[in-house]
Amino acid sequence: MSIPLVPSETLPKIELLSEIARLKKEKNAVILAHYYQDSEIQDLADFVGDSLDLSRKAAATDADVIVFCGVRFMAEVAKILSPDKKVVLPDMDAGCSLEESCPPDEFGKFRAKYPDHICLTYINCSAAVKAQSDIIVTSSNAEYILNQLPQNQKIMMAPDRHLGAYLSKKTGREMVFWPGSCIVHERFSEKELIKLKTEHPEAPVTAHPECPEHILRHADHVGSTSSILKFVLENPAEKFLVATEPGILHQMQKNAPDKTFIGAPGADGNCNCNQCPYMALNTLEKLYNCLNTLGPEIEVDEITRIKALAPLNKMLEMSPAQVPTAAKSGRAF
> Between residue 31 and residue 90, which ones bind ligand 13P under the rule CB under 6 A?
50-51
Smaller CB distance to ligand SF4: residue 143 or 245?
245
Kindly state whether residue 182 participates in binding ligand 13P, applying the rule CB under 6 A.
yes
**What is the Rg, in whole angstroms, of the alpha carbon atoms belonging to the chain?**
20
| Position among 276, 287, 315, 332 found at the interface with ligand SF4 (CB under 6 A) | 276
The number of residues that bind ligand 13P (CB under 6 A) is 11
Q: Is the peptide bond before 159 cis (omega within 30 degrees of 0)?
A: yes
| Position among 80, 87, 182, 326 found at the interface with ligand SF4 (CB under 6 A) | 182
Q: Show Cβ contacts of residue 241 under 8 Å, excluding neighbours closer than 6 positions.
A: 193, 196, 197, 200, 203, 204, 205, 206, 262, 264
Smaller CB distance to ligand 13P: residue 8 or 124?
124
Of ligand SF4, ligand 13P, none, which one does residue 315 interact with (CB within 5 to 8 Å by kind)?
none
| Among 35, 36, 41, CA closest to 17 | 41
Sheet of 154-158: strand order equals 135-137, 117-122, 154-158, 176-177
Kindly state whether residue 138 participates in binding ligand 13P, applying the rule CB under 6 A.
yes
Kindly state whether residue 207 participates in binding ligand SF4, applying the rule CB under 6 A.
no
Smaller CB distance to ligand SF4: residue 32 or 182?
182
Distance CA(191)–CA(171), nearest Å, equals 28
Kindly state whether residue 71 participates in binding ligand SF4, applying the rule CB under 6 A.
yes
Kindly state whether residue 142 participates in binding ligand SF4, applying the rule CB under 6 A.
no
Smaller CB distance to ligand 13P: residue 223 or 265?
223
> Between residue 194 and residue 213, which ones bind ligand 13P under the rule CB under 6 A?
208, 210
Smaller CB distance to ligand SF4: residue 72 or 305?
72
Provide, rounded to whole angstroms, the least separation between the CB of residue 139 and ligand 13P: 4
Residue 154: count other Cβ atoms within 10 Å of its Cβ: 14
* Binding residues vs ligand SF4 (CB under 6 A): 71, 96-98, 124, 182-184, 210, 245, 276, 278-279
